[in-house]
């Protein structure tokens, strides 16, 4: 038996890795053509003069005190934002994981809405919470607009869902009986939690923290809208240098700095994720959640619900309220105005942005699921080579690279046949898919890896081809994860603004682009329509996420 094994194994392994490379061909090509090449092109445009690389510029840029200040601010605000998000969202993760209460599914969808909404939409609403005349102002006379607090709180608002979904998802599947057993053996409640639950949970907490750090490190809209002009992150500075000052050399240096930083974050993230995927005894979430018992647990639930209401629901509610607050009383006046094309800013009625957004998002989802699905399938085996593992982190890079860099890169890189796509509609879904792929991979990968390898081996021994093994074993088990991945990619595409705004065409703006254009004009009707469109976008995202809640399976990866 052993002899036979050694004889068969090596060629089989080689075949397996060849197959994996085959699966990776398309994701690699996609990533190279639509991400690496455009970004490299715009960086080269900034740093290459007459064929010679101006690497001296790196030192020059870093020597500027302004730039060093930006780097410092970018880092510390991300650290503080991450800490604050964990502080506020971890109790939420616990409550969602362990407690059963009415409206839990709806609420889990609602807290995810901010994450997929563009900042251009909610920045304004968030001001209503922390700005003048906002809730804090009315209660205590506290105004936080153009302070760093507004930025930090808004980061909690946007990233709450990352913690609840990443940590809460795992927490709900940890067997509570293990902790109970430890207590039975005499451990105190805290000691039991520290020795049993915390170690199991910490990789998930670390992964969530790193994702939040990544999103806040590259924060753009929040810092611009809420922080005022005195605060600038690396991402804002890249935008300013590229788009306003047109100093492409400085922008290129900053892009490279951000690239290195994001690469480092992702490398650490990839490591923690792998640690998390080590075998844990997981149980169905339904079995671990129960109704809260005792005053303490009810108080915790109430506290979490209150923080969600104030931090997350209230800003969203303000959007809805303003969308109905027409000059002649509450009503649908702004929504009706959306159907008229007389506004001037658009060649079509603003309402058509909904159709555009849905079409773009569907196309983006199809691309993201195809590319991300193939990549996840290729990455399934845990003991793969370093090259393949690095690819896992590489696919997440678009999340951390400035949209203006990608947008300008598209413009100068994809301008020649056969890839003259600059004026093509497919550019928008392609850009959106870049952001969607990481979510597909992160959702699919843990599920695929959780499929018992022995099932595959058994099928193979019985003579099934790899394709058949995948179809008969993997597909049925990952169908739900696939749906969830698609749903998330869809919601993220709907809200994508940064890259879309660069390439969306005037006759078919997406919802976020239309909102931004309406906000860019004076007049009550423009403002009201912007609020109405934002509300519609919010509802569409919420519905998509609610559908996801319905199909959530026992083990659904990170989201």
Query: Which of these, 503, 525, 529, lies nearest to 514 by C-alpha position?
Result: 529
The distance of closest approach from Cβ of residue 15 to another protein in the complex, given in angstroms and rounded to an integer, is 6
Which residue from 344, 386, 387, 454 is in contact with another protein, where contact means CB under 8 A?
A: 344
Whole-angstrom distance between the N-terminal and C-terminal Cα of the chain?
42
Pick from 106, 412, 475, 543: which binds another protein (CB under 8 A)? 412
* Binding piece for another protein, criterion CB under 8 A, among 305-313, 449-457, 498-506, 536-544: 498-506
Candidates 48, 325, 359, 549: give the one binding another protein (CB under 8 A).
325
249: contact with another protein by CB under 8 A: no
Other C-beta atoms lying within 10 Å of the C-beta of residue 35? 22
Q: How buried is residue 37: exposed, middle or buried, by Cβ count under 10 Å (0-12/13-18/19+)?
A: middle
Provide the 3-class DSSP secondary structure of residue 373.
helix
Contacts of 438 by beta carbon, 8 Å cutoff, 6+ apart:
372, 395, 396, 398, 399
Mask for 209-228, x = binds another protein (CB under 8 A)? ---------------xx-xx
Cβ atoms of residues 262 and 218 within 8 Å = yes
Cβ neighbour number for residue 95 with a 10 Å cutoff? 25
Can residue 322 be called a binding residue for another protein (CB under 8 A)? yes
The DSSP-derived string for 205-243 is: HHHHHHHHHHHHHT--HHHHHHH-TT---HHHHHHIIII
Based on the shown chain and the rule CB under 8 A, indicate whether residue 133 belongs to the binding site for another protein: yes
Site for another protein in 27-46 (CB under 8 A): 29, 45
453 lies in the site for another protein, by CB under 8 A: no
Among 243, 291, 331, 453, binds another protein (CB under 8 A): 243
Q: Is 449 in the site for another protein (CB under 8 A)?
A: no
Q: How far is the CB of 25 from another protein (least distance, A)?
A: 5
Stretch that binds another protein, among 21-29, 447-455, 539-547, 551-559 (CB under 8 A): 21-29
Candidate residues 90, 333, 393, 394; the one interacting with another protein per rule CB under 8 A: 333
To another protein, the closest distance from the beta carbon of 27 in angstroms equals 10
Handedness of CA 371, 372, 376, 379 (dihedral sign): positive
Binding-site member from 4, 423, 461, 462 for another protein (CB under 8 A): 423
Least CB distance to another protein at residue 536 (A): 18
Q: Does 140 engage in binding with another protein (CB under 8 A)?
A: no
Which residues are within 8 A (CB) of 65 and not within 5 positions of it... i.e. 6 or more apart?
none
Dist CA 474 CA 126 (whole Å): 43
Does the footprint of another protein cover residue 26 (CB under 8 A)? Answer: yes
What does DSSP assign to residue 326?
E
Tally of CB atoms within 10 A around 25: 11
**How many residues of this chain bind another protein (CB under 8 A)?**
75
Rounded Cα distance, 86 and 555, in Å: 23
- Residue 377 or 401: the one with the smaller Cβ distance to another protein is 377
Task: Show contacts with another protein in window 366-405 (CB under 8 A).
Answer: 367, 370, 374
Among 455, 527, 547, 551, binds another protein (CB under 8 A): 527
Q: Which is nearer to another protein, 214 or 319 (CB)?
A: 319
C-beta of residue 258 within 8 angstroms of C-beta of residue 234: yes
Which among 168-176, 273-281, 386-394, 423-431 is the span making contact with another protein, rule CB under 8 A?
Answer: 423-431
303 binds another protein (CB under 8 A): no
């Amino acid at each position: 038996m052993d002899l036979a094994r050694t004889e068969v194994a090596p060629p089989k392994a080689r075949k397996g890795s060849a197959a994996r490379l085959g699966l990776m061909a398309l994701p690699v090509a996609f990533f190279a053509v639509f991400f690496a090449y455009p970004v490299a092109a715009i960086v080269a445009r900034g740093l290459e003069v007459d064929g010679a690389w101006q690497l001296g510029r790196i030192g020059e840029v870093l020597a500027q005190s302004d730039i060093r200040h930006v780097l410092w601010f970018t880092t510390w605000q991300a650290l503080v934002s991450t800490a604050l998000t964990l502080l506020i969202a971890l109790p939420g993760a616990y409550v969602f994981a362990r407690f059963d209460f009415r409206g839990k599914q709806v609420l889990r969808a609602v807290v995810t809405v901010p994450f997929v909404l563009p900042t251009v939409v909610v920045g304004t609403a968030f001001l209503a919470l922390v700005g003048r005349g906002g809730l804090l102002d009315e209660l205590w006379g506290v105004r936080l607009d153009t302070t760093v607090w507004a930025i930090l709180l808004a980061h909690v608002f946007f990233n709450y869902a990352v913690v609840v979904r990443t940590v809460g998802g795992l927490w709900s599947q940890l067997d509570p009986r293990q902790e109970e057993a430890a207590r039975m053996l005499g451990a105190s409640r805290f000691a039991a939690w520290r020795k049993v639950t915390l170690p199991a949970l910490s990789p998930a907490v670390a992964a969530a923290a790193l994702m939040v750090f990544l999103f806040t490190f590259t924060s753009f809209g929040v810092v611009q809208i809420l922080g005022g002009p005195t605060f600038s992150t690396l991402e804002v500075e890249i935008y300013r240098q590229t788009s306003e000052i047109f100093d492409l050399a400085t922008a290129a240096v900053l892009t490279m700095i951000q690239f290195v930083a994001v690469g480092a974050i992702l490398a650490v993230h990839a490591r923690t994720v792998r640690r998390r995927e080590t075998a844990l005894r997981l149980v169905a979430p339904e079995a671990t959640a129960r109704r809260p018992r005792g005053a303490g647990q009810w108080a915790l639930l109430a506290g979490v619900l209150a923080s969600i209401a104030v931090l997350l629901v209230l800003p969203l509610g303000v959007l809805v309220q303003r969308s109905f607050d027409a000059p002649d009383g509450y009503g649908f006046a702004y929504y009706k105005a959306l159907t008229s094309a007389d506004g001037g800013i658009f060649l079509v009625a603003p309402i058509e942005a909904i159709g555009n957004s849905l079409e773009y998002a569907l196309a983006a989802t199809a691309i993201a699921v195809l590319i991300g699905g193939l990549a996840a399938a290729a990455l399934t085996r845990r003991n793969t080579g370093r090259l393949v593992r690095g690819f896992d982190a590489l696919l997440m890079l678009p999340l951390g690279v400035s949209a203006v860099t990608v947008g300008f890169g598209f413009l100068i890189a994809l301008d020649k046949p056969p890839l003259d796509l600059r004026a093509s509609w497919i550019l928008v879904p392609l850009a959106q898919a870049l952001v969607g792929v990481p979510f597909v991979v992160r959702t699919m990968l843990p599920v695929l890896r959780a499929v018992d390898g022995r099932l595959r081996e058994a099928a193979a021994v019985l003579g099934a081809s790899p394709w058949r093994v995948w179809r008969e074993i993997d597909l049925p088990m990952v169908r739900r994860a696939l749906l969830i991945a698609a749903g998330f990619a869809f919601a993220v595409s709907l809200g994508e603004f940064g890259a879309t705004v660069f390439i969306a065409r005037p006759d078919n703006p997406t919802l976020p682009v239309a909102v931004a254009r309406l906000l860019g004009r004076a007049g009550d009707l423009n403002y009201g329509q912007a609020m109405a469109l934002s509300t519609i976008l919010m509802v569409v995202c919420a519905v998509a996420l609610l559908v996801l809640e319905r199909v959530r399976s026992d083990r659904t990866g990170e989201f």
